[in-house]
């Protein structure tokens, strides 16, 4: 049996789009599941739009996603000699020809076709000509597409798609400056790299019949084609920046766990019963093209947030601590002199949807509030609250052991001493130490912040209250 070989061939023209990431994941899973190989190919023939930075972004994204490839990255720009060789072969075999039409002639051809209400297409003018070509015109090279019959794509997702050859024209495979075009390069690469399965977005489905004809002209074995449904935003339109981040690395930046994003991506177009949560191992076991559906897949950010929270809750302390460290650094928070990041991460584990949220929640453990949340301060701070906080301050100051248990006991006895409900102390105290009323358990929060920090923040809050 031939070994399964899939490929991921992004064009390095910007960030790695979330749709491309899904394509990469499906190809990766399919290869791994079949004990096959996964190839990374950089399609950088569009030299004006391709940049080194974008290549780097692709590499970084692949690494962050953990989609390790067995071969590559291959760069198409390093394979120009090979493409030329194939074009020459097609020319020699009479399967391609030089076309000397000028841009003006092509425009006229298009206009004429439109007047006749026909598809604007190349009419094969130079296909069978034997007369002398015009002087001074560098020809393009066109592929001799069959004129009769039809191409049938036996699509593993969409089922058979039949396209009449009369619908296709003789496409340019090499421009007049000698650079090969996308459809030629892809076929030569997929052939040379022994790709058995081409799994890609269905925005390419129109290219496939043309590519199949080129495969056939080269006598190459056809790969299996599988075209994936587009990723849509919640309004049913094609996923774009309007709907949320579209760059893979933005999700890393925003503090999502890679496993959560991969889980979210695998469900875009593929399902396994009602199951929503899949580990990478499970995905590898269960994934199959037979359960990829044909209709657009909606990228629901709320679902991703939910998944991320699931993964945060079950992540190891180390994963949490690493994630939080990265995002504290990003937020410019100095965490050297506060409680251990792992301790804070554990405390916040169930409260944050992403690491950036967690970093935000961790801030008070490392920094005194620079200002109080307006609403919280208005509600919780007053002259009387200031006096209560002064008592809390004095009682906590007397503690030698600043453990959660000791703090809890002190707060309870302060409540009894002042004869107020716990909220009368607990809420202003939260605002005093964190700037807001939302924080994890108070006893642990205070204990991890440390006595010195807590007392200093209480002094500041008392002062604030007295000034009201």
- Residues designated as active site: 241
Name which of 211 and 263 has its Cβ closer to ligand GLU.
211
Residue 380 in tokens: 């919780």
- Tokens describing residue 258: 């890679």
Min. distance of Cβ 253 from ligand GLU in angstroms?
22
State how far the Cα of 240 lies from the Cα of 242, in Å rounded to an integer.
5
> Which residue is it, tokens 């790709």?
195
User: Closest CB to ligand GLU among 10 and 435?
Assistant: 10
| Rounded least distance, CB 183 to ligand GLU, Å | 9
Among the listed ranges 3-11, 263-271, 381-389, 436-444, the one in contact with ligand GLU (CB under 6 A) is: 3-11
Stretch that binds ligand GLU, among 6-14, 58-66, 291-299, 432-440 (CB under 6 A): 6-14
Nearest to ligand GLU of 9, 435 (CB atom): 9
Q: Among all chains, which residue has been given the structure tokens 């202003």? A: 428
DSSP 98-114: EE---HHHHHHHHHHHH
Q: At closest approach, how far in Å is the CB of 236 from ligand GLU?
A: 22
> Which residue's structure tokens are 């794509």?
153
Which one of the spans 9-17, 264-272, 366-374, 459-467 is the region binding ligand GLU (CB under 6 A)?
9-17
How far is it, in rounded angstroms, from Cα 159 to Cα 186?
Answer: 22
Q: Pattern 320-359, binding to ligand GLU, x per CB under 6 A?
A: ----------------------------------------
**199 vs 389, which CB is nearer to ligand GLU?**
199
Q: How far is the CB of 85 from ligand GLU (least distance, A)?
A: 21
Interface with ligand GLU (CB under 6 A), residue from 5, 9, 227, 377: 9
Q: Which stretches within 230-373 are classed as H helix? A: 248-253, 258-266, 280-286, 301-314, 317-330, 341-348, 355-366
Q: Which stretch binds ligand GLU (CB under 6 A): 7-15, 83-91, 281-289, 340-348?
A: 7-15
DSSP single-letter state for residue 133: P
Judged by CB under 6 A, the chain residues 11 through 40 that form the site for ligand GLU are 11
Q: How many residues belong to the site for ligand GLU (CB under 6 A)? A: 7
Q: 107-136: which residues touch ligand GLU (CB under 6 A)?
A: none
User: What does R_g of the chain's alpha carbons equal in angstroms?
Assistant: 31
Q: Residue 158 or 272: which CB sits closer to ligand GLU?
A: 158
Least distance in Å: CB of 9 to ligand GLU?
4
Which one, 9 or 428, has the nearer CB to ligand GLU?
A: 9
Q: Nearer to ligand GLU by C-beta: 19 or 428? A: 19
The interface mask with ligand GLU, positions 38-57, x = CB under 6 A, is: -----x--------------
Min. distance of Cβ 8 from ligand GLU in angstroms?
Answer: 8
Beta carbons within 8 Å of 424's beta carbon, 6+ residues apart: 385, 388, 415, 418
The CB-based long-range contact list for 448-454 (8 Å cut-off, 24+ gap) reads: 448/338, 448/339, 448/343, 448/344, 448/347, 448/365, 449/338, 449/339, 449/364, 449/365, 450/338, 450/339, 450/402, 451/396, 451/397, 451/399, 451/402, 453/338, 453/368, 454/396, 454/402
Kindly tell me which residue out of 82, 84, 204, 379 binds ligand GLU, with binding defined by CB under 6 A: 204
Among all chains, which residue has been given the structure tokens 């251990």?
340
Question: What secondary structure does DSSP assign to 360-404, as a single string?
Answer: HHHHHHHS--SS--HHHHHHH-SHHHHHHHHHHHHHHHT-S---H
* 3 state DSSP class of 280: helix
Q: Return the number of the residue (10 or 255) whose C-beta is nearest ligand GLU.
A: 10
Binding mask 230-269 for ligand GLU (x = CB under 6 A): ----------------------------------------
User: Does 451 participate in binding ligand GLU (rule CB under 6 A)?
Assistant: no
Are 386 and 465 a contacting pair, CB within 8 Å? yes
DSSP, residue by residue, 24-70: HHHHHHHHHHTT-EEEEEE----TTT--HHHHHHHHHHHHHHT---S
Which residue's entry shows tokens 């109080």?
A: 372
Taking the complex as a whole, how short is the minimal distance between the CB of residue 57 and ligand GLU, in angstroms?
13
- Cis omega (within 30 of 0) for bond into 73: yes
Q: Binder to ligand GLU among 101, 140, 186, 324 (CB under 6 A)?
A: 186
- In the complex, what is the shortest distance from the CB of residue 59 to ligand GLU, in angstroms, rounded to a whole number? 15
Q: Which residues bind ligand GLU (CB under 6 A)?
A: 9-11, 43, 186, 200, 204
């Amino acid at each position: 049996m031939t070994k399964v070989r899939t490929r991921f061939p992004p064009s390095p023209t910007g960030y790695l789009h979330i749709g491309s990431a899904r394509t990469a994941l499906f190809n990766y899973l399919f290869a791994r599941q079949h004990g096959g190989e996964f190839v990374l190919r950089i399609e950088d023939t569009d030299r004006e739009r391709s940049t080194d930075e974008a290549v780097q972004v692709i590499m970084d994204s692949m690494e962050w996603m953990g989609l390790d490839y067995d071969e590559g990255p291959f760069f198409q720009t390093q394979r120009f000699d090979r493409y030329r060789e194939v074009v020459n072969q097609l020319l020699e075999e009479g399967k391609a020809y030089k076309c000397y039409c000028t841009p003006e002639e092509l425009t006229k051809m298009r206009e004429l076709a439109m007047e006749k209400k026909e598809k604007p297409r190349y009419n094969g003018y130079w296909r069978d000509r034997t007369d002398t070509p015009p002087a001074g015109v560098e020809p393009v090279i066109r592929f001799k597409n069959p004129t009769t019959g039809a191409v049938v794509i036996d699509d593993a997702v969409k089922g058979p798609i039949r396209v009449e050859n009369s619908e296709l024209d003789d496409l340019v495979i090499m421009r007049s400056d000698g650079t090969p075009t996308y459809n030629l390069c892809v076929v030569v690469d997929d052939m040379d790299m022994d790709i058995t399965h081409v799994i890609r977005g269905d925005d390419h489905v129109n290219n496939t019949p043309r590519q199949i004809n080129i495969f056939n002209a080269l006598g190459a074995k056809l790969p299996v084609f599988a075209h994936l449904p587009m990723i849509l935003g919640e309004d049913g339109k094609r996923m774009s920046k309007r709907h949320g981040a579209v760059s893979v690395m933005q999700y890393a930046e925003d503090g999502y766990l890679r496993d959560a994003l991969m889980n979210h991506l695998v469900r875009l177009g593929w399902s396994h019963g009602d199951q929503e949560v899949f580990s990478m191992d499970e995905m590898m076991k269960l994934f199959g093209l037979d359960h990829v559906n044909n209709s657009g897949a909606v990228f629901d950010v709320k679902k991703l947030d939910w998944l991320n929270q699931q993964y945060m809750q079950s992540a190891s302390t180390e994963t949490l601590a690493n994630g939080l460290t990265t995002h504290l650094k990003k937020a410019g928070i100095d965490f050297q002199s506060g409680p251990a990041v792992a301790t804070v991460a554990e405390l916040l584990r169930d409260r944050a949807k992403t690491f950036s949220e967690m970093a935000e929640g961790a801030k008070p453990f490392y920094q005194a509030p620079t200002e109080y949340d307006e609403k919280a301060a208005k509600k919780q701070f007053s002259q009387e609250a200031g006096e209560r906080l002064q008592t809390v301050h004095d009682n906590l100051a007397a503690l030698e052991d600043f453990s959660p248990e000791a703090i809890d006991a002190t707060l309870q006895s302060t409540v009894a001493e002042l004869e107020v409900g716990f909220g009368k102390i607990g809420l202003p105290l939260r605002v005093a130490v964190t700037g807001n009323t939302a924080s994890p358990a108070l006893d642990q929060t205070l204990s991890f912040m440390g006595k010195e920090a807590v007392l200093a923040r209480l002094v500041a809050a008392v002062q604030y209250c007295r000034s009201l």
